[in-house]
Amino acid sequence: MAAAPERIALVTGASAGIGLYTALGLARAGILVVMAGRDPSRTGRARDIVAESSGSAAVEMAIADFASLAAVRGLAETVLSRYDRLDVLVNNAGLIAPRCELSEDGYELTIAVNHLAPFLLTNLLLDRIRASSPARIVTVASQSHRGARLDLATLTKPPDWSPLGAYGRSKLCNILFTHALARRLSETGVVAASLHPGVIATKIGDRAGKLAGFGWRIVKPFLTTPDKGAETSLFLATTTDPWPFRGAYLIDKRAAQPDPAALDVDLAERLWTESVRLVGL
C-alpha cells in the first residue's frame, strides 16, 4: 500500500491562471493537491497539466460553482469525506462580473463568489484544518481593495454597483475576513494570511465592463504572468516558518500595510457576523 501523503492542499479556482500555477507549485513541493474548479472539463485538463508538469500522481480534482452556496457546501462535504487531513487551503477563486448579476442565492455575484463562498468553505473545513495543525489558510486578495468602503446593510445588493467597485469591495472583505479569522485562530497552530498577487495577465479583467475590459486587454501583454502571480501564495503555503505572517497582508512575499479600512477591527467583526447570517452558518 502506498504511503499516505504527508500534506494535503485544496486550491480553489485552480483550472486556470494563478490557481493553476499555485497547484503546480504545491504538487512540485510533494503535496497532494486537490484542484477545485467550476467546469469539469477545464478542471480535468488543468489537473492533467499539473500532474504531467510536476511528475506527481497526487493531483486530484473537485467541482463546485462558487455562485451557489449549496455547491460550496457540497465541495466541503467532498473534501471532508475524501481526506482525513487538510494542511493548506488556498482561497483563490474569484471574478470580476461584467454586469450586476445575482448568485443562485440572490446575492450580488461578485461578493457571493469572492467573499461569501470562501468564507463559508473555510468555516466548514475549519475543524479539519485545526486538526491538521500546523496548517495555513491563504486568501488571495488584491490592491484593488484600496479606497473601497463597505455598507453592510447593502453588502449583497449595492446601489452604486460597478464592475471594479464591486471587485474592490469583495477584496476588502477578503482582508477583513482574514484578520478576523486570524484572531479566532490565535491560540492554534493555523496561520491565516491574505495577499496581493500583483497585476496579473489572466482573463479576470476581460469581463470587467466594456471600457475597463477593453483597457485590460490592451495592457494585459505587459502585465505579470500567472506563474509569477502564484509566488506569494506558494510562499505562504510552503514557507518553513509562517508564524510571522499571522493575519498579515503580503505583497511580493513581504508583509505590507493595507488600506486603513482593512484594519478596522469593529468592521471585520460586523462583517463576520453578517457573513455568518448570509451563508446560514
Q: Supply the residues annotated as catalytic.
A: 167
* Among candidate residues 185, 191, 179, the one with its CA nearest the CA of residue 270: 179
Cell 489537473 sits on residue: 47
Q: In what order do the strands lie in the sheet with 249-251?
A: 59-63, 32-37, 8-12, 88-91, 135-140, 190-196, 249-251, 254-256
Classify residue 5 by its DSSP letter. Answer: P
> What is the secondary structure of 120-162 as a DSSP string?
HHHHHHHHHHHHT-SEEEEEE--GGGTT----GGGTTS-TT--
Q: Helix, strand or coil for residue 9?
A: strand
Under 8 Å between Cβ of 20 and 49: yes
Classify residue 115 by its DSSP letter. Answer: I
Under 8 Å between Cβ of 44 and 20: no
- Give the bridge partners for 9, in sequence order: 33, 88
Cell 502506498 sits on residue: 2
> What is the C-alpha to C-alpha distance for residues 263 and 204, in angstroms, rounded to an integer?
26
Cell 464591486 sits on residue: 166
